[in-house]
Amino acid sequence: MRTLIANGLIVTADGSYPGDVLVDGEVIVQIGVDLAAAGVTADETIDATGKYVIPGGIDAHTHMELPFGGTFAKDTFETGTRAAAFGGTTSIVDFAVQSKGQPLHEGLDVWHKKAEGNAVVDYGFHMIMSDVTDATLAEMDQLVAEGVPDFKLFTAYPGVFFSPDDHIFRAMRQTKHNGGLILMHAENGPVIDILAAGQVAAGVTDPIGHGLARDSRLEGEATSRVIRLAEVAGVPVYFVHMSAKEALDALMAARNRGVMAWAETCPQYLYLSLDDLGDGFNGAKFVCSPPLRTKDHAVELWNALKRDDLQVVGTDHCPFDFHGQKELGRGDFRKIPNGLPGVEERVDLIHQAVVDGRLTKERWVQVVSTGPAKIFGMYPRKGVIAVGADADIVVYDPNRSHVLSASTHHMDVDYSCYEGMAVQGGSDVVLSRGMVVVKDGEFTGRKGHGMFVKRGLADYARLG
């Protein structure tokens, strides 16, 4: 099957130019001007006049079916990746979970089973490490070889995912030998627990207590502590879901010292704020960790994204219905499952920043696709429009407006964090390894088309 995408503006992280893209089977085989006139034939031609042709989005932070707070994130690999495709995302990297006392592989196998035969677009895995022992340290090397080269550890969630400093340090040292990357959830969990108990004791049981207890300085403190651990271990480090300017300050200072420290932020920290948490129990829709911050933090995050002090926008997609799931925390915000939906909205929300003049369209492609592809060992197979790359392609209409709403989205969750927000731009045609999976608002893909992506090491390791 040969597909010709003609007359579009090819937008890459490095620059934009008019051209045609020829897909044969699963890969891009030719790029040029007016390929049809040059005699190139195809089974199907997609007219991209007036549209952008971009590499499919890569969401490097999702949690399909994550067990949390006595329930499970609602999207499965089928519903979540289908929603991702509608939103122009053609690869996700989800977090497999090791429960305490379990080998890493046991957790990873569970995630393979959840995804295989169900995902609609391609997927990879990061490994959440809840236990750092001699055995799990040795297993890390094996996982790197199997294409799961990064490991998330937490200074948050005591009793669940929390790791003390010595465990984090040992895991970091292991990546010095195996080339893997440590991903950190940096908040001071034990101190937050004290503050959260204090809020409840003072009668603050609504979701706003979640935001008040999780002080932004405790994200800054944990971030700078973890950076120092990485410096001593002599390894790079990546921070997931960065939300606070204090954390950003620590990150920028480290980068100025020459430390290989990278971070992602998420649309919720750019567009939403503590005010959303303050709307009585309705604020439960916005309970995630780190929490939504006051608006001054978002100003700093936008600037950092523009300057490349932040490298990636992921979603931390972790959807729980408001009715029946978020409601588990009525009367005690500590029992509200943490997480928000967003996998479908990310590409459009960050394109809105292009419309608003905050980012260039090339930077948009960088932070939603090329950047994560490079950091997470998928480049140049993914994250780029280039001959030989997987034909994960979005024909994106930069002028089509639509309104974000739970009544029209495809995520399996009963609310949208952005209900009623109008955005300019939308994915018209989405190809996943050459297959048209979404066209003009219709799903044309197939459950099980998505394949496991065996990832390599981050770009820095290949260079070094």
- Binds Zn ion (CB under 5 A): choice among 105, 167, 185, 245: 185
What tokens were used for 159? 């009793």
Contacts of 417 (CB under 8 A, 6+ apart): 268, 272, 276, 285, 286, 340, 341, 342, 345
**Could you tell which of ligand URP, Zn ion, none binds residue 288, using a CB distance below 5 to 8 A set by kind?**
ligand URP
Task: Round to whole Å and give the CA distance between 129 and 150.
Answer: 10
**Residue from 229, 259, 251, 233 nearest 164 by CA:** 229
CB of 170 to Zn ion, least distance (A): 20
CB of 269 to Zn ion, least distance (A): 12
Q: Does 168 bind ligand URP (CB under 6 A)?
A: no
CB of 316 to ligand URP, least distance (A): 5
427 near 395, Cβ under 8 Å? yes
Closest to ligand URP by CB, 81 vs 338, is 338
CB of 429 to Zn ion, least distance (A): 30
Contacts of 399 (CB under 8 A, 6+ apart): 50, 424, 425
139 near 175, Cβ under 8 Å? no
- Binds ligand URP (CB under 6 A): choice among 107, 339, 426, 450: 339
CB of 192 to ligand URP, least distance (A): 12
**Residue from 341, 432, 427 nearest 122 by CA:** 432
- Measured from each CB, the residue nearest to ligand URP is 338
Q: How far is the CA of 127 from the CAs of 92, 94, 182, 283, 300, in angstroms?
A: 14, 9, 10, 30, 30
**Residue from 77, 75, 154, 142 nearest 106 by CA:** 142
Residues 217-246: x where in contact with ligand URP by CB under 6 A, - otherwise, as a string: ------------------------x-----
Q: Does 285 bind Zn ion (CB under 5 A)?
A: no
Q: Does 289 bind ligand URP (CB under 6 A)?
A: yes
Residues 314-333: x where in contact with ligand URP by CB under 6 A, - otherwise, as a string: --x-x---------------
CB of 64 to ligand URP, least distance (A): 11
Give the binding range for Zn ion (CB under 5 A) out of 8-16, 120-128, 183-191, 430-438: 183-191
Using CB under 5 A as the binding rule, the residues of this chain from 291 to 350 that contact Zn ion are: 316
Q: What φ, ψ does residue 126 adopt, rounded to 5°?
A: -100, 160
- Angle 311-68-211 from CA coordinates, rounded to 5°: 65
Q: Does 297 bind ligand URP (CB under 6 A)?
A: no
Q: Does 185 bind ligand URP (CB under 6 A)?
A: yes
Task: Round to whole Å and give the CA distance between 175 and 170.
Answer: 9
**Residue from 29, 118, 73, 58 nearest 338 by CA:** 73
- Measured from each CB, the residue nearest to Zn ion is 185
> Which residues are at the interface with Zn ion (CB under 5 A)?
185, 316
> Which residues are at the interface with ligand URP (CB under 6 A)?
63, 185, 241, 288-289, 316, 318, 338-339
